[in-house]
Amino acid sequence: MAIVSCKRVTGSPNIKYYDEDNALSANDFQKGDLVKFNTDGELVIATAGAILGIAQAAASGVDNTKVPVDVLMGDEFSIPWTAEATTETLLNDIADVTFTTGAQVLTGGGTTDTVVVDFDDPVGTSGGRVIVKVIPAAQQFGSAAE
C-alpha cells in the first residue's frame, strides 16, 4: 500500500505537467513522492542533489506520459518522512532525500537537499514527519517541456 510521503504546507499549488521516464523501474514514483528531472529532462524519483516538486500521480510505467507535479518554489515548506527518530538535533539540520525499495525518506546530517524547519510529529517519533524547505542549490525549476 502506497502512502503519501510528502505534502505541501505553505504556498499555492503550482501544478505543471512533465514527461516521466520508465527506463529505470527502481525510479518509479508514487503520488506524494518528491521527483526531479533526469539528464534527459524526464521525471524520476528524487534522490540527493535535486528536487523539482511533489508528484501528484504515480508513475504509469509508460515513457513520456505526462505527470502532474506540484513544483516547489523558494520558501515554500513541505512535509516528508524521516528515516530516523526525530530528535532536537534535526532542527535546522540539512536532510537529504534517500530512496530505498518502496520508500523515499529524509536522512539528517546531509549536505544537499533540504533544511528541517519544524516537526510535524512529536520529537522522538521513529520515522516521524518533519517540515522542510528545499535548499536553493537543490531546487530544479520547470526547464523541461511543460
From 5-9, 22-26, 101-105, 112-116, the region with the lowest mean pLDDT:
22-26
Measured CA distances, 121 to 57, 76, 96, 131, 132 (Å): 25, 19, 19, 9, 13
Question: pLDDT > 70: what percent of the chain?
Answer: 87
* pLDDT tens string 47-74: 778 889 999 998 888 888 899 999 988 7
Summarised one tens digit per residue, pLDDT across range 68-115 is: 999 988 777 887 777 777 888 889 998 888 776 666 778 888 888 888
Could you give phi then psi for residue 88, rounded to 5 degrees?
Answer: -55, -30
pTM of the model: 0.84
**The Cα angle at residue 120 between residues 14 and 96, in degrees rounded to 5:** 70
Report, as an integer, the average pLDDT of 108-125: 87
